Amino acid sequence: MVSFTNARGRADASRMSVPATRSLILIVEDFDDAREMYRDYLEFSGFRVATARDGREAIEKARTLQPDLILMDLSLPGIDGWEATRLLKAAPDTAHLLIVALSAHALATEGDRARAAGCDGFIAKPCLPSDLVDEIGQYLKGQTASRERRARPRRH
């Protein structure tokens, strides 16, 4: 378990934005250390977290868990993140899921490619865990606002 403390040994919540509801985040990452570090920090920050090691496992867990947000590494063994995203966005039961690419492919064009594959956003690695929490909060806030707009009756 990773400890997130400040210089005085206290839990560092200085940049942490705890979600109002415990959103479920699915982290799809093939590197154990990175997956565990992100999982530990997101749990520390108040999120519920599930993990997957590859695209096949991500698709299975996305269908059964219906997470609030999927952090999708793009370079995965087997079914890569690009294809997993396309498959999830093409399926009626998962097309609505929020998928954010989390990738070391940091060129500006990679964000465009990720969006073309169906990702709703792009975060370049490496990123600080606290920055990741902030980004997730922004995506979830945007998703909530979008749902509220769709739920409002339209006036003619």
* Domains identified in the chain and CATH numbers: 24-151 (3.40.50.2300)
User: Quick check: 101 and 84 in contact, CB under 8 A?
Assistant: no
Contacts 24+ apart (CB under 8 A), 134-137: 134/15, 134/17, 135/100, 136/23, 136/25, 136/42, 136/47, 136/69, 136/71, 136/100, 137/17, 137/19
Backbone torsions φ then ψ of 26, nearest 5 degrees? -100, 115
Quote the pLDDT of residue 94: 97
Quote the pLDDT of residue 126: 84
Quote the pLDDT of residue 32: 95
Quote the pLDDT of residue 5: 43
Q: At 94, is the secondary structure helix, strand, or coil?
A: coil
Quote the pLDDT of residue 127: 84
- pLDDT tens, position by position, for the chain (156 residues)? 444 444 444 444 444 444 446 899 999 999 999 999 999 999 999 999 999 999 999 999 999 999 999 999 999 999 999 999 999 999 999 999 999 998 887 677 888 888 889 999 999 888 888 889 999 999 998 875 554 433 344 444
Please give the model's pTM, rounded to 2 decimal places. Answer: 0.80
Quote the pLDDT of residue 83: 96
CA–CA distance, 12 with 44 (Å, rounded to integer): 10
Quote the pLDDT of residue 21: 62
Quote the pLDDT of residue 103: 84
Quote the pLDDT of residue 41: 93
